[in-house]
Amino acid sequence: MSPAPDALQRRHRFQWWELLPWATGLAMFFAFPNYLSFGTQLLVTILFALSLDLVLGYAGIVTLGHAAFFCVGAYTVGILAQQLGWNEPLSGLVAAGLAAGIVGLISGFVLLRTHGLTLLMVTLCTMTLLEQAANMGHAWTGGFDGMPGLSFTMILGLFPFDVLYFKSQYLYSLSVLALGFVVVRTLVYSSFGQSLTGIRENLLRMHAVGAPVRGRLIVAYGISAALAGVAGGLFTQVTGYVNLAVLGLERAAGVMIILILGGHGRLYGAFVGAVAYLVLEHLLAKAYPTAWQLGLGLTLVAVALFARGGLIGLFEKLRGAR
């Protein structure tokens, strides 16, 4: 086997160090039982960031409207539970993923005719329109007040949701994140994922070799939307409520900041970025309640100037310099 294919094959193999995030997640369950609510929020955020990384980091689709798919998943689970009495957790997540995936495919067919700044703006406008639709459809969505007090049946019929300590929610979220990660990892190391990287790096060359560029971008957009929908549905299930905050610009921009911090186009960038962002936000808000965003902004400027590959890219650079 020639050196290039052999190196690519080794890259696809599961490495021992890839167990570290999951071992850390399980260790947190036992070491910090009083912080499992925060841990559950972190896991949902990682899954959401992972879904965005598939299109931003690998396909090169720059979007500010990814929270729209998170919203579709969140409201799908909420409406099914409140309006139709469908409160089974796993089937609810499947419904959330399907609904968001369909919306992603349809919107991607239209929106991906554009690119660059135009694409950035139309995705943002799409999210804003969806927010207004959710606000106006108060009979189904609860409008501005949302849908609080949602309840769900036991997970697999065995584990009830723990509203006090979040033990069941944490392990449930960790399991869903693991499945989502397997899907993304399989995709990015497949020929489909390699073609997405090629589209990101050299669009004209991929057109020249006859690759169905637009079709693959739409499919990637739909898969990414489905994962974001699962993250939104998971958020509704573990918190027991959903409101218009799932569609806020802060959520849409926050998940992009996470990828900037961790490193987009890297499988574990979402993990590192989410931990860095939430911990940094918590510490800065505690130290400077009225000016914590200034500290976050300065951190982003430093990362953009000195670590363009994010924290993971900086680590790889320092390791290569040895």
164 phi and psi angles, rounded to 5 deg? -100, -50
Give the pLDDT confidence score for residue 322 in this predicted structure.
54
The answer to whether the predicted template modeling score (pTM) of the entire model surpasses 0.85 is yes
Residues of the chain with pLDDT under 50: 1-2, 4, 7-8
What pLDDT was estimated at residue 11? 57
State residue 218's pLDDT score.
94
Q: CA 221, CA 70: separation in Å to the nearest integer?
A: 13
Dihedral sign of CA atoms 51, 279, 78, 134 in order: negative
d(CA 90, CA 109): 29
**Residues 6+ positions from 93 with CB-CB distance below 8 Å:** 77, 176, 230, 233, 234, 237
Q: Which pLDDT belongs to residue 186?
A: 92
pLDDT at 105: 95
Amino acid at 78: G
CA angle 214, 216, 217 (to 5 degrees): 65
DSSP for 147-197, written as a single string: B-S-----BTTTB---TTT-HHHHHHHHHHHHHHHHHHHHHHTSHHHHHHH
Let me know: does 66 contact 51? Beta carbons within 8 Å: yes
- State residue 221's pLDDT score: 95
In terms of Cβ atoms closer than 10 Å to its own Cβ (0-12, 13-18, 19+), residue 157 is exposed
Angle between helices 269-287 and 310-320 (to 10 degrees): 110
Residue 129: count of CB within 10 angstroms of its CB: 12
> How many other C-beta atoms are found inside a 10 Å radius of the C-beta of residue 36?
20
